[in-house]
Amino acid sequence: MPNHLAKETSPYLRQHADNPVDWYPWGEEALNRARQEDKPILLSIGYSACHWCHVMAHESFEDPDVASVMNQLFINIKVDREERPDLDHIYQLAHSMLTQRNGGWPLTMVLTPDQVPYFAGTYFPKSPRYGLPGFADLLRRVEDLYRNRREDVAEQNASLLEALQGSGGAGPGSGEISRAPLEAARARLKESFDPRFGGFGEAPKFPHPGDLFYLLRDYAIHGDTDSRHMACFTLRKMAEGGLYDQLGGGFYRYSVDEQWLIPHFEKMLYDNGLLLAAYAEAAGICRDSDFHAVIEDTVAWALREMRDPQGGFYSALDADTEGGEGAFYVWTPKQVQGLLTPEEYAVFAPRFGLEGPANFEGHFWHLFLDRPLGEVASSQGLDTEAAQALIRSAREKLFVAREKRARPGLDNKVLTSWNGLMIQGLARAASALDRPDWTRAAQQAVDFIRRELWRDGRLLATYTAGQARLNAYLDDYAFLLNGLLELMQAEFRSEDLAFARNLADVLLEEFEDKEEGGFFFTGHSHEQLIQRPKNAFDAATPAGNSVAAFALQRLGHLLGDMRYLHAAERTLRSFYGMLERFPGSGASMLLVLEEYLSPPRIVILRGEAERLPEWRRALEAQRKPDDMILALPNGLSDLPDALNKPQGHPVGAWICQGVTCSPEVTDLSQLI
């Protein structure tokens, strides 16, 4: 019989609906039962694209004997970390406090009935191996602790709660706000930069878009050529490696090796939204035309495979298929040779690493750019254009063949926060490459969210199969607000500005910490949990506090609204001590600091609709990352005073920074 997950909207939870484990979703029914029966709670947090989550499910949660132990001793709660990031934040932090190690997924926590954890771990095998105990035996010992050592558990829980309550913020720092954290972050990145393969630190390597945004701005604004090299070289190496899908476009989650060759094969919407924005920002700075192809193929992947028919974007593609992790993406030379002409194979094989040894599990080849195109062309007596044509036809044939394989699982949740990141990436790419069709796709995603996930003046966090639910979190409001600010620069719509102001007002009303500054992760009306998270450390996605402050600061400058500017400043001051002590952990807050010290340059164009695109394209070629460019056609009504410029010329332009605007400029060459 299905357990209590059968009616959930999360694809991840529904994957466990037929387990013999008596799973509950997080909620009062399960929590009340734990209190009434005086049973500890076994909390398992994961997500649909998580490889080790699937392994633990197959080994233990589908096993009747293990399930019997779980059902007898515990109230079992399964959580999708993407639907409930509030719970994931709290219990990942508790895991690190209890074990002094980083957490991950699956996260395995045992809680007392009042939700306080007294045991923490991640993956556990069914039988003892990897130096880990067997899961069922471990559970018996952990339950015995609760049953027979109550005083020890209570003492530990009290200490943990005290530590959790003291974990938010980092204080105002040592003195006046200055550029010191920016300089320290650049020095830290130089120390950890990999000069051979790009990226920062050792394997496994993650893309870290926040660091790349900071470095690109550091070069564009201050001219640091080392920053430019670190960002451009890293972006180039990621695009050449196996982190990038060389046939279908889009980036995988991270690389298991230092060379970006072999990824963990899930594709996440948030990575691709952020990297779209990074490559679009870098296209002009790095002067690398290959970045255009990366952007185009990544957008094509998102629109082809991740888009809901109503306009929103799905969450993730699984790493696994029926053939195992990565099976959808990898090849053998024999398979490739059987699909291509001899001429195509002669250039494709050396270009994409098929002439080297197998690089995945000893038997398969995962494609990456191994040899320069010019070198491959020369070896075959071809010019570059002819070789490129053969590569193009080969890629098309292999892509068509790959599409016939068993596909990775799709998590079709539409998450407001991650859609905000994709809207930002699409809009920035649309501006950089002059693609109005991408702008329309981003607008359709916004319209979907406004229609399906904006209820009674508040956002909801997730939508699946016609059902929107769960109060939105800080990230939902912050990421969507930032995406709207980028989208309005690709094409201005009055309704987007109105929506942005609504989101900003809810941020101040529902999430701001009025006493200490900054924003809580959950709203004031949210369910009461054992902690109310509030942090500005970047993780897989940028910190909500940082993005909220960045977007509010920009909106405040755009509209001349001091409420937004003051909230952003209070947030920066609240976390300035963190930037001083850990400048490498808050790259997104560094962007807030940069624009606090030097407000963004805002260019407002006002004029005839048919004339504005020419001016907009000319400015895009000159644009720096801290610039904001808005093109407002004549005839718009209800514009705020700061944007309601006169309409006397075919096109007029005003350049504003801080509280100062230039006189109107009516000649394009003079403006440039």
pLDDT tens-digit series, residues 371-427: 999 999 999 999 999 999 999 999 999 999 999 999 999 999 999 999 999 999 999
Check whether 150 has a pLDDT greater than 70: yes
635: its two tokens = 């005839």
pLDDT band at 339 (very low <50, low <70, confident <90, very high): very high
Task: Look at residue 165 in the predicted model and tell me its pLDDT.
Answer: 87
Pairing of strands 75-80, 41-46: parallel
Summarize pLDDT for 459-490 with one digit per residue, the tens: 999 999 899 999 999 999 999 999 999 999 99
What are the DSSP calls for 99-132, one per residue?
HSS---SSEEEEE-TTS-EEEEES---SSSBTTB
CATH of region 11-165, choose from 3.30.420.40, 3.40.50.300, 3.40.50.800, 3.40.30.10 = 3.40.30.10
- Enumerate the β-bridge partners of residue 321: 324
3-state secondary structure of 651: strand
Position 650, amino acid: P
pLDDT single digits (tens) 616-663 = 999 999 899 999 999 999 999 889 999 999 998 999 999 999 889 999
Three-state secondary structure call for residue 448 = helix
Domain boundaries, the chain: 11-165, 180-321+411-597, 329-404, 601-671
pLDDT interval class at 323 (50, 70, 90): confident
User: For 563-588, what is each residue's pLDDT tens digit?
Assistant: 999 999 999 999 999 999 998 889 99
- Average pLDDT score, the chain: 96
Task: HSE, CB side, 13 Å, CA atoms: give it for residue 557.
Answer: 31
The CA-to-CA distance between both ends of the chain, in Å, stands at 69
What pLDDT score does 290 carry? 93
Q: What is the C-alpha separation between 503 and 554, in angstroms, rounded? A: 14
Q: Is the pTM of this model over 0.75?
A: yes
Q: Retrieve residue 265's tokens.
A: 């094969």
The neighbouring-strand residues paired with 108 are 44, 121
Tokens of 73: 């001793």
Sequence-ordered strand ranges (E) for 307-421: 316-317, 320-321, 324-325, 410-411, 414-415
CB 94 within 8 A of CB 119: no
496-508: average pLDDT: 98
429: burial class by Cβ within 10 Å (0-12, 13-18, 19+)? buried
The pair of structure tokens assigned to 291 is: 């970045």
Quote the CA–CA distance of 273 and 294 in Å, as a whole number.
13
- Predicted local confidence at residue 171, as pLDDT: 65
State the fold for domain 180-321+411-597: Glycosyltransferase (1.50.10)
CA distance 419 to 425: 10
- Token digits of residue 64: 């009747």
In the predicted model, is pLDDT for residue 175 greater than 90?
Answer: no
643-647 — which CB contacts under 8 Å span 24+ positions? 643/558, 643/559, 643/604, 645/604, 645/606, 646/606, 647/606, 647/607
In the block, tokens 């790349």 appear at 212
